[in-house]
Amino acid sequence: MRRRNWLAIQVEVIAGPGGPLWPRPGRLFAVARSHSFAEFAVAVDHALGRWDLPKPAQFVLEDGPLEDAELSKIGELNQGDTFAYVFDRDDAWHHLCTVIERPFDPRKTLLGEPPELPTAYWGWGTLPDQHGLRWVKDDGHKPGPRQPAQPYDDLPPLLPGWGAGSE
C-alpha cells in the first residue's frame, strides 16, 4: 500500500472503571485507510493488554455515534480529526483517538512491509488491568500477597540475584 493510504492514529486512555487516568497511557498506530473501525478496535485492545473481549466496540465521531464498526472504514478521517473509542460500556473505558499524521509511511516507522492489520508502533504509560486485578489470584476482596523481605527472594535462582539468600 502506498504512503497516502495510511494514517498514524494516537490513542490515549482517558478513563476506566476507577475514573480518570493521569498521566494518560497511550499508543500510536499505523492504520490503512482500508481498515475498518472494528479492526482498529481489535488492535487497540491487544496493544492495551486486554484479554476479555466480550462486548462490541463503540466509536463516537465528531458527527455522532458510528453505526457499523465492521463495515465503516477509517479512510474518511483526516489529519487532526478526533473520535472516541469506548471499550466495555459498563466499565466505561474511554479513549481519545487523534489522527496525528496523514499521509503516513508505515515502511519507515515499522521498518518493513506494511502490516495486514492496524498495528501499534509506539507506546507510553502504565496500562491498568481491565478488571483492576493486581496479581495472579486477585479476587478483588483480599489484601495482596506479602512482599518478600528481599525483592527477589521468592524467585527461582535462574538469574544472578534471584532466589532466597542471594545477594
Indicate which CATH number applies to the domain containing 54.
3.10.290.30
In a domain, 147, yes or no: yes
Q: Would you say residue 129 lies in a domain?
A: no
119-165 pLDDT, tens digit per residue, is 999 999 998 888 888 888 888 788 888 888 888 888 899 999 898 66
Residues 139 and 98 in one domain: no
Task: State how far the Cα of 119 lies from the Cα of 106, in Å rounded to an integer.
Answer: 10
Looking at residue 3, its pLDDT comes to 53
Together in a domain, 142 and 116 = no
Joined together, the cell numbers standing for residue 29 give 498506530
Both 115 and 155 in one domain: the answer is no
Are residues 151 and 115 part of one domain? no
Q: Are 80 and 147 found together in one domain?
A: no
Examine the domain organization and report whether 103 and 151 are in the same domain. Answer: no
Average pLDDT of the residues in 64-82: 93
**Considering only 17-21, 34-38, 82-86, 95-99, which range has the smallest mean pLDDT?**
17-21
- Is the same domain home to 36 and 79? yes
Overall average pLDDT of the 96-124 stretch? 89
User: In this structure, are 64 and 27 located in the same domain?
Assistant: yes
Does residue 161 belong to any structural domain of this protein?
Answer: yes
Q: Is the pLDDT of residue 110 over 80?
A: no
Our count of domains for the chain comes to 2
**Any domain includes 144:** yes
- Long-range contact list for 50-55, CB < 8 A, 24+ apart? 50/87, 50/130, 51/130, 52/130, 52/131, 55/87, 55/88, 55/89, 55/90
For residues 164 and 110, membership in a common domain is answered with no
Q: Note whether 36 and 105 are same-domain residues.
A: yes
Q: With 90 as the cut, is the pLDDT of residue 102 above it?
A: no
Domain that holds residue 83: 3-124
Co-location of 116 and 138 in the same domain: no
36 grid coordinates: 475498518
